[in-house]
Amino acid sequence: MNRRSFLWTLSSLSVASMLSSCENQYDLQVALLQGSLPIQLIASLQKQGLGKINFKPQSSIEDIYKLLIKEEEEKDKKNTPSDLMTLGHYWLKDAISKNSIEPLELDKFSNWQNIPPRFQQLVNRDNQGKLTENGQLWGAPYRWGYTMIAYRQDKFEELGWQPQDWQDLWRSQLQGRISLLNQPREIIGLILKKLGHSYNTQDINSMPEVAKELKSLHQQVKFYDSTNYLQPLIMGDTWLAVGWSADILPVLATRSNIKGIIARSGTALWADVWVKPKQDKNEEDKLKRISELINFCWDTASGKQINLFTNGISPLKLSGKTNPKIPRMSEEIFAKSDFIEPLSPQDLEQYHELLLKL
């Protein structure tokens, strides 16, 4: 456990100990993805005049989504619901269509202009959760990351080259040396990107070249796993792994023989966003506190702390010192990359069936 993890755990325990008192004593209830905000920023938030904030750390976005649904189902049980939650951008469509969250008021955010257009477009959606130019603001992005490649530098020094792009995964020297996420969208997505297409491509059954590339890539893979894919890389059982930056960056910080790169042809992107759970009655005082908290996360100083002390990146365009362990994504690669969006059930089935055929 590194120092930052220890401080976060210590803070979480402190919060848990305070929960023995009545939760109604807090002015805001915030379900937060653990580690997505640095301790320094949380401490600063507590001094901003927003009242008492109960940060409830959750271990995963999926856990938060389950909490969102659970709190909605138990509204009549006099439990204290969350006023604000972290949610992954991928979950927005489902949460909106199920009427589980409500839109934010754009005119309440003085720092909205600090958010680049692509992140603004990511949370501008209609009442069914579909991306649109004329929709409402359904989330506030405060951190993002990407799918990347981690590799054993010592092994590749012996080979005399280093990976640069997805096409390198097909090189003969890597047969049986790769671990991939057990995620159809990620596996087939990198193939689509290699072929010059989007991660969100529909009707892949009409593209026979995708199945051909997948069959060839399968010969390179030692195993598929979405949880324990980095341990074999650390031990040297595999030489290259494809995974999420939030998982890989801590390993890069502690293992000098493991390096990370972002594929030149583009990659998959993810974003953590603030969402407001739907309430039967909104109190003006709470709405004001929520908007001030989000505005604070979009402040330049806050964005720099997110960059320095978390395994993610603030959406703000910032200059100066950054986290040295985070590979810098160029504007060119960012433009080629895709935020993964939900597909139709029919298209998603095609992705799954293509993998099952292996």
**Mind listing the pLDDT tens digit for each residue in 190-200?**
999 999 999 99
DSSP state of 139: -
Burial of 148 (0-12, 13-18, 19+ CB in 10 A): buried
Range scoring the smallest mean pLDDT among 24-28, 209-213, 298-302, 311-315: 24-28
Q: For residue 288, count other CB atoms closer than 10 A to its CB.
A: 12
Identity of the residue numbered 261: I
Mean of per-residue pLDDT scores for the chain: 91
Residue 315 gets which letter from DSSP? S
Which tokens is 97 given? 């269509």
The answer, yes or no, to whether residue 241 has pLDDT greater than 50, is yes
Please tell me the least confidently modeled range out of 82-86, 109-113, 145-149, 327-331: 327-331
Instruction: Give the pLDDT of residue 7.
Output: 47
Tell me if 78 sits within 8 A of 52, measured CB to CB.
Answer: no
Determine the pLDDT at residue 22: 54
DSSP conformation letters of 214-243: HHHHHTTEEEE-SSSSSHHHHHTS-SEEEE
Confidence tier at 327 by pLDDT (50, 70, 90): confident
Structure letter (DSSP) for residue 21: S
Q: Are 181 and 242 in contact (CB under 8 A)?
A: yes
Q: What span, in angstroms and rounded, lies between the C-alpha atoms of 121 and 269? A: 14
Q: Are 216 and 171 in contact (CB under 8 A)?
A: no
Q: Residue 24: its pLDDT value, please?
A: 62
Q: Which of 95, 26, 30, 54 is nearest to 290 (CA)?
A: 30
3-144+271-326 and 146-268+335-356 share one CATH topology? Answer: yes
Q: Is pLDDT of 13 > 60?
A: no
Q: Quote the pTM value.
A: 0.90
In this prediction, residue 74 has a pLDDT band, given cuts at 50, 70 and 90, of confident
146-268+335-356 falls under which CATH superfamily? Answer: Periplasmic binding protein-like II (3.40.190.10)
Q: How far apart are CA 181 and CA 241, in angstroms?
A: 8
CA atoms within 13 A on the CB side of 61: 16
- The per-residue pLDDT for 23 is 55
Separation between Cα atoms, residue 145 and residue 165, nearest integer Å: 18
Question: Which stretch of 91-100, 104-113, 316-325, 332-341 has the lowest confidence by average pLDDT?
Answer: 316-325
In the chain, where the domains are located: 3-144+271-326, 146-268+335-356
125 pLDDT band, cuts 50/70/90, is: very high
3-state secondary structure of 104: strand
CATH superfamily of domain region 3-144+271-326:
Periplasmic binding protein-like II (3.40.190.10)
Residue pLDDT, tens place only, 17-54 = 344 345 568 999 999 999 999 999 999 888 888 889 99
DSSP string, 162-199: ---SGGGGG-GGGTT-EEE-S-HHHHHHHHHHHTT--T
Instruction: Provide the pLDDT for residue 11.
Output: 52
Do 222 and 179 form a contact (C-beta atoms < 8 A)?
Answer: yes
Q: How far apart are CA 329 and CA 317, in angstroms?
A: 12
- More confident call, 116 vs 80: 116
Report the amino acid identity of residue 12: S
Say how far apart CA 334 and CA 109 lie, in whole Å. 26
* Confidence (pLDDT) at 280: 83
Instruction: Give pLDDT tens digits for 138-191.
Output: 999 999 999 999 999 999 999 999 999 999 999 999 999 999 999 999 999 999
pLDDT (0 to 100) of residue 10 = 45
| Residue 73 pLDDT level (bands cut at 50, 70, 90) | confident
For residue 283, how many other CB atoms are within 10 A of its CB?
11
Of 19-33, 264-278, 299-313, which has the strongest mean pLDDT? 264-278
